[in-house]
Amino acid sequence: MSWCGVAGAAPVWRLRAGALWSPSGGSVRFCSSGTTLGSASRAIVDRVIRVDHAGEYGANRIYAGQMAVLGRTSVGPIIQKMWDQEKEHLRKFSELMVASRVRPTVLMPLWTVAGFALGAGTALLGKEGAMACTVAVEESIARHYNNQIRTLMEDDPEKHEELLQVIKKFRDEELEHHDIGLDHDAELAPAYAVLKSLIQAGCSAAIYLSERF
The Cα–Cα gap between 212 and 92 comes to: 21
Whether the CB-CB separation of 202 and 55 falls below 8 Å is answered with: no
Q: pLDDT-based confidence at 73, cuts 50/70/90?
A: very high
174 is in an annotated binding site: yes
Q: Mind listing the pLDDT tens digit for each residue in 78-89?
A: 999 999 999 999
Please report, for the chain, the start and end positions of each structural domain, with discontinuous segments joined by +. Answer: 35-212
Whether the CB-CB separation of 1 and 7 falls below 8 Å is answered with: no
- Mean pLDDT calculated for residue range 58-71: 97
The Cα–Cα gap between 32 and 94 comes to: 15
86 is in an annotated binding site: yes
Q: Mind listing the pLDDT tens digit for each residue in 86-99?
A: 999 999 999 999 99
Q: From 53, 21, 23, 20, select the one nearest 210 (Cα to Cα).
A: 53
Inter-CA distances, 75 with 18, 95, 138, 140, Å: 42, 31, 18, 22
Considering only 33-42, 103-112, 140-149, 177-186, which range has the smallest mean pLDDT?
Answer: 33-42
Half-sphere exposure of 153 (CA within 13 A, CB side): 9
211 is in an annotated binding site: no
The Cα–Cα gap between 82 and 202 comes to: 21
139 is in an annotated binding site: no
- Model's pTM, two decimal places? 0.80
For the cut 80, the answer to whether the pLDDT of residue 37 exceeds it is no
Cβ neighbors of 8 (< 8 A, separation 6 or more) are 87, 91
* pLDDT of res. 42: 86
Q: pLDDT-based confidence at 71, cuts 50/70/90?
A: very high
178 is in an annotated binding site: no
The Cα–Cα gap between 146 and 134 comes to: 18
Helix (H) or strand (E) holding 28: strand 28-30
89 is in an annotated binding site: yes
Q: Mind listing the pLDDT tens digit for each residue in 122-167?
A: 999 999 999 999 999 999 999 999 999 999 999 999 999 999 999 9
Domain 35-212 has CATH 1.10.3470: no
